[in-house]
Amino acid sequence: MNATAGRKPVHLAVYDTFADWETGHATAHLARSGHEIRTAGPSTAPVTSIGGLRVRPDLALDDVRPEDSSLLILPGADLWDTSDDLAPFARTARAFLAAGVPVAAICGATAGLAREGLLDDRAHTSAVSFYLAATGYAGGEHYVETDSVTDAGLVTAGPTEPVAFAREILRLLGVYEGEVLDAWYRLFHDSDASAYAVLEKAGAL
């Protein structure tokens, strides 16, 4: 599919130790549907993922504005748990949500958002409940034991659920819906070959 005129890009945060496998399904299928993916780092200096991929960000975080974006995606990273280096990304997520622009966070990024207070009043999930509880956040009663959660413009998921994470993002941005979205999830999560026919008919492959 071709990009829709005037569609704002999706911003993918990248930083040292980012978990490169956690956002691949989402960004690949967003790009295939015509969404421009722009990477945003602490600066425009190259960063290196957990898997050793070297990425030169398209722009620095300070240049990312909610009004210029359709979504901010925050992958997990060791740095979320070992330092405060990524706190500016959580603050940017706050600005996005305040502006009504959605945010999607997976794995360690959910802990970063918990520390920022963004999960105190929203249904959410993560790796396990006690992982977020260790941040000292006030949102424990809103934790949901499921693969991925979307609430008030915020998508959350744990590190073992990149496909469910992508499903929620694709639903949120209207890439796929209903039977097609279900078939997409069954194909990529369950290796359900019967889903091919639905996706082919919809032109989603």
- Catalytic residue numbers read 107
Q: Which two tokens stand for residue 29?
A: 């299928």
User: Could you tell me the two tokens for 112?
Assistant: 């970063």
Tokens found for residue 55: 């990425």
Among the listed residues 149, 68, 50, the one whose alpha carbon sits nearest the alpha carbon of residue 58: 68
Max Cα-Cα span within the chain: 48
Bridge partners (DSSP) of residue 157 are 106, 148
